[in-house]
Amino acid sequence: MAGNGDTDTRGNLPPLSLHVPEPKFRPGDEVDFSHIGVTEPGAQPRPDENCEAGETHPLCNDLIRVLGDDNKAHGPWDPKLDPETLRRMLQTMALTRAFDERMFRGQRQGKTSFYMKCTGEEATSISTAMALADDDMIFPSYRQQGALISRGYPLIEMINQIYSNEGDKLKGRQLPIMYSARDYSFYTISGNLATQVPQAVGFGMASAIKGDTKIAATWVGDGSTAEGDFHAACTFASVYRAPVVINVVNNQWAISSFSGFAGAENATFAARAIGYGIAGLRVDGNDPLACYAAERWAANRARSNAGPTLIEFFSYRAEGHSTSDDPSGYRSAQEREEWPLGDPVMRLKNHLIALGEWDEDGQAKMDLEAAEQVKAANTEAQKLGTLGHGMHQPFETMFEDVYEDVPWHLAEQREQSLREKEIKFGKKDPGEAQ
């Protein structure tokens, strides 16, 4: 009998090999997205919102689409939004894109250390946020600035936080773009991946325990679904039928690794729902109407005590992961142009034009107004300083907001620090404008 490690008796077996996922295209490669199953708009059934979870599971391997190549809405998932709502959605997208462009330039000019754009993914946050009630709690990832803008949060407050200036309500304690807006039902963004998912499920469970009517919705990237927090949250959501919508934005890439490292080669992300026995939908993430319809369906389901829904928004990250990333180092430059599902802003604009409710002149005017609105907010924010230049939070605030009452040892440290600061800098704070 062979002992441990003795492979002589296995000479007829091939050696084991480890599979390491590889993206289909690398820098310089020709791009061919023909392997992506782009379904016919309107061909997907729309189950009743209170159906058994299993009835949705075929949709986890489909792709819910509403807008066709003719720029018209098709099928049972058409939310039949009125033109004014569609224009408001388009205006929010234009404003978000203008905001991204201005803040990107601000980072390149040294006004902030970090920024993340959501170009190409606007529908996954704006259309979905509009489908929720205003007091439903949003637990975002770091690319949902569109959701906050759609709720009317002041742009100047967002810029203050990005610039970590005197007006930053978070007092410079959060990485730029990690907003917190309790009054707008927008939970604090965390840089730790996937922590927001169990928080959202917990909020939904607490809301149900209290007999409230508010649900929770959370967003997570495809890469973050590999985190343990994501799977723990899905278990709790399934067991307790938490009133929560779990939105997975599959933009094909994590920081510099493609979605295969999170399991995309083996199953869709929506198919995670099948294993947990919860409702699941897979949606064209660049179709604003499909995004709205799926989120509204899931929100209505949660609010009627039918349980949670996991939605995969199949999209594409058009820009780098952040201002610290150069995607040309790991993916083909052709991918953005060849992406078969198009651009969500252009698709919504063309839909309104097809309805006779919009035109190119109106779009040009909207884009200009959005750019001017962001420019004005940026000018006001800069009066309160930018990162490394100008006014910041008072020196002593580093000792505040951890305890309700400052304990004696922190009080002593604060006084000592203030004395040393005064010796070195005089009465002024070291970050104050000279």
Per-residue pLDDT tens for 197-237? Answer: 999 999 999 999 999 999 999 999 999 999 999 999 999 99
pLDDT for the residue numbered 393 = 82
Question: Is there a contact between 50 and 74 (Cβ–Cβ < 8 Å)?
Answer: no
Question: Is there a contact between 67 and 347 (Cβ–Cβ < 8 Å)?
Answer: yes
Residue 260 included in any domain = yes
Residue type (1 letter), 312? E
Are 314 and 418 in a shared domain? no
Are 83 and 121 in a shared domain? yes
Question: Is there a contact between 276 and 234 (Cβ–Cβ < 8 Å)?
Answer: yes
Please tell me whether residue 412 adopts helix, strand or coil conformation: helix
Q: Which residues of 242-260 are buried (b: 16+ CB within 10 A; e: fewer)?
A: bbbbbbbbbbbbbeeebbb
Are 325 and 231 in a shared domain? yes
Residue 221 included in any domain = yes
Are 371 and 421 in a shared domain? no
Are 285 and 144 in a shared domain? yes
Are 406 and 377 in a shared domain? no
Give the pairing type, strands 244-250 and 279-284: unpaired
Residue type (1 letter), 125? S
Q: Using CA atoms, how far apart are residues 203 and 215, in angstroms rounded to an integer?
A: 8
Mean pLDDT, all residues of the chain:
94
List strands edge to edge, sheet with 279-284: 137-139, 216-221, 244-250, 309-314, 279-284
Does 257 or 352 have the greater pLDDT score? 352
pLDDT over threshold 50, residue 434: no
Q: How many CB atoms lie within 10 A of CB 407?
A: 11
Are 408 and 352 in a shared domain? no
pLDDT for the residue numbered 276 = 98
Are 342 and 412 in a shared domain? no
CA distances (Å), 282 to each of 126, 166, 201, 329, 356, in order?
A: 17, 43, 20, 30, 30
pLDDT for the residue numbered 426 = 81
Residue 409 included in any domain = yes
Question: What residues contact residue 385 under an 8 Å CB cut-off, 6+ apart?
Answer: 163, 165, 166, 391, 392, 431, 433
pLDDT over threshold 60, residue 432: no
Residue 125 included in any domain = yes
Residue 396 included in any domain = no
Confidence of residue 430 (pLDDT cuts 50, 70, 90): low
pLDDT for the residue numbered 398 = 86
Average pLDDT over residues 56-75: 98
Each residue of 124-167: pLDDT tens digit?
A: 999 999 999 999 999 999 999 999 999 999 999 999 999 999 99
Are 295 and 417 in a shared domain? no
Residue 388 included in any domain = no
- Assign residue 339 the CATH number of its domain: 3.40.50.970
Q: Using CA atoms, how far apart are residues 237 and 310, in angstroms rounded to an integer?
A: 10
pLDDT over threshold 60, residue 79: yes
- The closest of 235, 135, 226, 239 to 186, measured between CA atoms, is 135
Domain count, the chain: 2
- The closest of 371, 380, 370 to 157, measured between CA atoms, is 380
Question: Can you state the angle between helices 83-108 and 360-382, rounded to 10 degrees?
Answer: 40
Are 70 and 158 in a shared domain? yes
- The closest of 176, 127, 181 to 152, measured between CA atoms, is 181
Each residue of 277-313: pLDDT tens digit?
A: 999 999 999 999 999 999 999 999 999 999 999 999 9
Burial class for 155, CB neighbours closer than 10 Å (0-12, 13-18, 19+): buried
**Domain membership of residue 92 as a residue range:** 53-382
Residue 433 included in any domain = no
Are 198 and 123 in a shared domain? yes
pLDDT for the residue numbered 433 = 45
Residue 44 included in any domain = no
pLDDT for the residue numbered 366 = 98
Are 408 and 309 in a shared domain? no
pLDDT for the residue numbered 7 = 55
pLDDT over threshold 70, residue 358: yes
Each residue of 320-337: pLDDT tens digit?
A: 999 999 999 999 999 999
Tokens 């020196």, located at residue: 395
Query: What single string gives the DSSP state of each residue in 304-371?
Result: TTS--EEEEEE----S-SSTT--GGGTS-TTHHHH-TT--HHHHHHHHHHHTTS--HHHHHHHHHHHH
> Of 20-29, 290-299, 424-433, which gets the smallest average pLDDT?
424-433
Q: How much is the pTM?
A: 0.93
pLDDT over threshold 60, residue 373: yes
Each residue of 1-19: pLDDT tens digit?
A: 455 555 566 889 999 999 9
pLDDT over threshold 90, residue 421: no
Residue 392 DSSP symbol: -
